[in-house]
A and B are shown apart, each in its own frame.
Chain A
Amino acid sequence: MDSLSYIKLSAIILIFSVLSNGCSSDEDQPELIQEEELITTVKLTFKSSDETQIIQWNAEGTNSESIQLKANSIYDVAVEFLDESDPVDIEDITTEVIEEANDHQVFYEFSGVNVTYETSDTDTLDDNQNPLYINSLWNSGEPGSGKVRVYLIHEPTSKSSNDRNGFGGETDIQVDIPLNIN
C-alpha cells in the first residue's frame, strides 16, 4: 500500500502543478488585431474638362452618394482602394493592387444607364499588356439614372471579358453606386 499512496500523492502534485501552470499562462490581455489587407473604402475620382467629382463608398455603406455625369461626355476616372480602419494611418491598397497587376482586375458593370469605358494613357498594364482599368476613360450616353457596380477581382482566370463571370477569380470588392446622367 505504500507505493500506492506514493503514486497517488505524486499524481495529485502533478495535477496541481498543471493547474497552476494553466492558470498563469494567460494573465495578460490578448493583442488587439488591426486587420491587414482590409479595404474599407472605394474612392472614384471623375475628371472632365471643367470639373472634378470625388465619390466614396466605405465599408459601413453610410456615405455612398450618387455619381452625377453630364450626357455624352468623356470623364477621366481613377479608382482607389483604401484601408481607413485606423484614421491616423490610412493605407492605400491601390499600390498593392498595382504591384500585383497580374493577379488583379478592375471591372465596371452598368445598369439602367448607357456608359462605356476604355483604358486611359495613365492606366496600369500587367505583364501581358492587359489594362487594369485603375485609370479609365468613361463615355456617358443619354440622360438617365441607374448604377455602376465596381469590382476588384483577385486572381482572375481571364483578363478580358464583357461580364463578371468571364473573369472568374475571387471578388475582393463589389459595390453598387447610384449613377445619374443629366
Chain B
Amino acid sequence: MNNKSLNIEVFFTFFIGTIFSIWGQSCDLAIAGNINDLHDGSPVYGALIKIENSDIFTQTDERGRYLLQGVCFGDLLLIVEHPQCNSLKRRIFIEADKVIDFELEHHINELDEIIISDDLLKQINLSANESRLDVNKINRFSSKSLADALNSFTGVSSLKTGNSIAKPMIHGMYGSRIGIIVNGIRLRDQEWGADHAPNIDLNAFENVQLIKGASALKYGGDMVGGVIILSPPKIELKDTLIGKTIVNLNQNGRGAFLSSDLRKTYSNGYYLKAQASGKRYGDIEAPNYILSNTGLKEVNFSFKFGRTRIIKGWEVNYSKFKNETGILRSAHIGNIQDLIRALKSKKPLRIEPFTYNIGSPKQQGIHHNIQFTVFNQFNNQAKWQWDYNYQVNQRKEFDIRRGNRSNKAAIDLKLQSHSLIGSLKWRKDISWNYEFGTNGLIQDNFSNPKTGIKRLIPDYLSYQLGSFFTGSYKPNNSFSWDWGFRVDRVTWDVKKYYNTSDWQTRNYQNVFSDFVVQDYGTQILVNPKLNFINWSAQTGIIYILGNHFRSNFSYILSQRSPNASEMFSDGLHHSLATIEYGNLFLNKEISHKFLMSFSRDRGIFKGSFEPYFSNIKDYIFIAPKSLKQTIRGAFPVWEYDSTNVLLWGIDSSIEIRLMNKMSLELNASYIYAHDKINNKPLISIPPFNTFQKFKYKFKNGFDIELSNRYVLSQNRFPNNNFLINSIQDGEITEDIVDISSPPKGYQYLDFSFSFPFNINEGLNTSIRFMIDNLTNTKYRDYLNRMRYYSDEIGLNAKFQLIMSY
C-alpha cells in the first residue's frame, strides 16, 4: 500500500510540474502604481485593486503601493475599492507593463492612522488551504444548502439525509469536527446530529471562506476537518440604499425560493440591513418516481444595525431561521425485516401522488441568533473587540406513531448557548502581528419530556472556557510564518435517566457509581460531571517563489472532547432500525495533521496540489456492537467507540483560462482512512471524486457553464453486515442484511446559462437558467443515509432572477 501511494504522489507531482512548465506565455504583464487620498495626497492603505472577471487582485501596502501580476494582454477593467471610499473603475488596454496611479476620496478625515482591520480579502490564517465563495457563487446556490454550495470545492463533500438535509464534510470529517463561523461566532446548533443540517441561510452572507485543516484557533481548537467562515457584506461609509432580490423557480419539487435584502448606509458610519427569505417545495422526484414526503418549508429573517468609524464601532445583529423538512416516508421502518424489504426493493415501498404537504416523519428546526459586537482601535498598534452572542436552537422530530401521536414530537430538544469572545489584536510593526483572546461558552440543553419517548439526548449544562494566542511574521511578500496556541476547558453537568439494565450491562455501575442520584427501579437517574482540557496548536509557513509559485506547509494539533451525542445518545433510529448508545468511557480525540499546498497561478494556468496527512488518536465513531432482542424483533445496537485512525488524502485542482472568455476547471480528491486498531477502513469516507467545469463568456455578458461530477464507488468500507432469520414457506432461512456495500459510482451533468440585462441605471438584473442532473441520471450516493431507500433527485430545471438596486 505504501509503495502504491508513493507512486500516486510521484505521478501527481510530475504531472502538475509538467503542466506548470507548458503554460504561461502571454499573461505575464504587470500593473503597478500608487493610491493616494484625493484631499491630502496621503497614501491609502488596504485598498483593493482587482481585475474584473479574473482572480487577480492585490492590496495597497502602508505606502499606498500596489502590484498586480500575471495580467494578460488586452482590454481589462480595473476596480479599486476601499471601505471608506467610493469605488473606482477604469478600463484600460494593456500591452506592456504599466504604472497607473489612483486618487481615492476619503470620507473620514480624522483618519490618519494605520488601520488594523480584517483586510478585505485577508486569509484568516495565512498558511491554511483556503477556498472562497464570492457573492456571485452564493447567488447561484441561493436556493440550495451550504453543503451543496461548498461541494464544488475539491476535498469537500456532503453527508446527507435525503436531498435537503446536508452537512458539509471536509477531508472526510463532519459535525463537531467542522466549525461554522457566522459573523465571527461559531454556530451552535446541534451539529453533532448526523441528520441535522446547519441552520443557516446562505443568502444573508456575501463571502464564504472554506479553510481545510483546523487553523482558526480563535474560534476553537477542535475543528479537525476545517472551518467554514460566513461573512456579511462589508459596510461602506457613504450615503446609499442598496438592495437585492433573488427569485428562484424549481421544476423539481415544483417550488419557489425568494430572498430579498435592503441595506442603508450613511457617510457618518451608521448602517442598517434587513434580509428575509422563504422557500417552499413539494415532493421532489427521482428519475423514475416521486420521493414521497420530501417537501420543504423555510422562512428566514435577519436584521442588523450599527455604526462603524473604521477604527471603532459597534453592531447589533439578529437572525432567525425556521424550517420544516419532510423525510422520505419509506425510510421510516419498524425493524430489520422492514429494512431488508426496503433493501431488496428497487424503489421506495411507498410512492404517493405529488403533494406540498409535509407529513411525518419530518424535522422542524428553529434557530435564533442575537449578537452584540464592539471594537475599538485605541492606538496605532492595537485593537480590541468583544462579541457576545446568544443562540437558541430548537429541533423537533416527528415519527409515525400510533394513537394520533404523529403530531407529537418524538424528539424535542432546545439548546441555548451564550458565548463571549474578547480579543486583542496587536500590530507590533509591519511584519509582526499578534492576537490574543479568551472566550466563554455556556450551553444548556433541555429535552422536552412531553414527547412520551425516552430522551435521545439528556438535559445538560456544559461550560467551556478557552484562551488563544496567535501570531504571524511576514517580513516580505514572499514569506510568512504563523503560529498559535489554544487551551480549552470543557465541563459537563448532565442529568440522564439510564435504563437500569443498560447501566449495569455497560459496566457503568462499577465505574461511575458516584454519579447515581436516584434509583427508580427500571430507570436510574445519574448526574455525570465530566471535565476535559484540550490543547491545540498550529504553525505554518508560506513561501512564494518567483511571484507565481506558492507553497505552504502547516502542522496542526487539535484536541476535541466527545460531544453530547457521542457520550449520551440513547434511542432508536427509525431510518436504519438501529439502537444507538453513547459511551461514557470516551477520551478526548487527539489529531496531528500535516498539510501541504503547492499552487501556481500565472496567466492562463492556475493549479494546486494539496496533500495532507493525519494521525488521530482516540477517534470517536459509531459502530455496530451486538443484536438486541426486543418485542419488535432483533435490533442491531450501534455504540460510540474510539479507535486510532490514519487518514491521508490529496486535493488537486487545475484551471485553464483562455482569452478571458473560456475557462476549464478540473478538480479531484481522494481520501484514505484506516481504523488501525480494528484494521479496517473507516465508515462514511467520501470515495474518489472529480469535478470538471467548462465556462464560456460571450461579449455581451452571456455566459454558459457546463459541469460534470464523477464519483467512483467507495471500495474501502467496513463490513457491518449481519445475519437475521426470516420465515419463508414455513421454513426459517437466514438473510444477510447488507447495510455496508456502497452504491455504484455515478456521474451527472449540470448546465447553466445566464445573461445580464439592465432595465435602467439603478437596476442591475440578470437571469439564469440552470439544469441540474441534465441527463436525469439515476444514482445513489454512499454519503446519503437515504441510499437504502431511494435514488437521488433527478433532473431539476431552475430559473433564477437576480435584481440588484
Q: Identify the A interface with B (CB < 8 A).
A: 1, 3-4, 7-8, 11, 14-15, 18-19, 22-23, 25-26, 29-37, 39-42, 57-59, 61, 85, 93, 96-97, 99-100, 103, 109-112, 114, 146, 149, 153-155, 157, 163-165, 168-175
Contact = CB atoms under 8 A, between A and B. Distances in A.
Given A29-B517, A111-B730, A19 B442 contact: yes
A100 B453 contact: no
B462 to A, nearest CB: 10
A33 B497 contact: yes
A155 B400 contact: yes
B633 A171 contact: yes
A29 B525 contact: yes
15 contacts: A3-B376, A19-B442, A30-B447, A30-B525, A31-B449, A33-B454, A42-B631, A59-B630, A111-B727, A111-B730, A154-B400, A171-B333, A172-B334, A174-B631, A174-B632
Which 10 A-B residue pairs are closest in the complex by CB-CB distance?
Answer: A36-B452, A170-B334, A171-B334, A174-B633, A31-B449, A22-B442, A171-B335, A18-B418, A30-B459, A109-B727
Contact of B629 (A18, A34, A40, A61): A61
Contact of A32 (B390, B422, B520): B520
Contact of A111 (B403, B496, B517, B732): B732
Contacts of A97: 402
Q: Would you call the interface of chain A mostly helix, strand, loop, or mixed?
A: mixed
Contacts of A14: 388, 420
Contacts of B400: 154-155, 170
A161 B730 CA distance: 15
B29 interface: no
A19 B459 CA distance: 17
A97 B517 CA distance: 38
A97 B452 CA distance: 18
Contacts of A168: 341, 349-350
Given A23-B461, A37-B405, 15 more contacts: A14-B420, A29-B495, A32-B523, A32-B525, A33-B451, A37-B403, A59-B631, A85-B522, A96-B403, A100-B402, A110-B730, A111-B730, A170-B335, A171-B337, A174-B335
A111 B337 contact: no
Nearest to A33: B449
Contacts of A93: 402
A25 to B, nearest CB: 6
Nearest to B314: A7
Contacts of B333: 170-171
Contacts of A155: 400
Contacts, number: 152
Nearest to A34: B452
B335 A100 contact: no
Nearest to A11: B386
Nearest to A28: B495
B82 interface: no
Nearest to A114: B730
A157 B451 CA distance: 27
A26 B422 contact: no
B401 interface: yes
B455 A173 contact: no
A64 B656 CA distance: 72
Nearest to A61: B629
Contacts of B362: none
Contacts of B418: 15, 18-19, 22
Contact of B402 (A7, A85, A96): A96
B574 to A, nearest CB: 8
Contacts of A33: 449, 451-455, 497
Contact-residue bracket for chain B: 35 or more
Interface string B625-650: 00001111100000000000000000
A7 B405 CA distance: 51
B700 interface: no
A41 B630 CA distance: 11
B168 interface: no
Interface string B304-319: 0000000000000000
A138 to B, nearest CB: 15
Interface in B254-295: none
A90 to B, nearest CB: 15
Contact of B374 (A7, A19, A111): A7
Interface in B449-489: 449, 451-455, 458-459, 461
Contacts of B458: 30
Contact of A26 (B390, B444, B455): B444
A18 B405 CA distance: 37
A149 B420 CA distance: 58
Nearest to A166: B341
Interface string B383-395: 0101010100000
Nearest to A146: B730
Most chain B C-beta atoms within 10 Å of own C-beta, residue among A30, A36, A154: A30
B332 interface: yes
Interface in B367-393: 374, 376, 378, 384, 386, 388, 390
B420 to A, nearest CB: 5
A8 B438 CA distance: 13
A37 B632 CA distance: 13
Contacts of B518: 29
A1 B743 CA distance: 63
Interface string B186-227: 000000000000000000000000000000000000000000
A57 B405 contact: no
Contact of A1 (B378, B388, B454, B455): B378
A59 B632 CA distance: 9
A170 B332 contact: yes
A8 B349 CA distance: 61
Contact of A37 (B374, B446, B452, B629): B452
Contacts of B453: 33, 35-36
Nearest to A167: B341
Nearest to B445: A26
B632 A172 contact: yes
B611 interface: no
B442 A164 contact: no
A4 B452 contact: no
B728 interface: yes
Contact of B403 (A8, A32, A57, A100): A100
B402 A172 contact: yes
Contacts of B405: 36-37
A168 B330 CA distance: 10
Given A15-B440, A170-B338, A37 B401 contact: yes
B731 interface: yes
A171 B632 contact: yes
Contacts of B422: 11
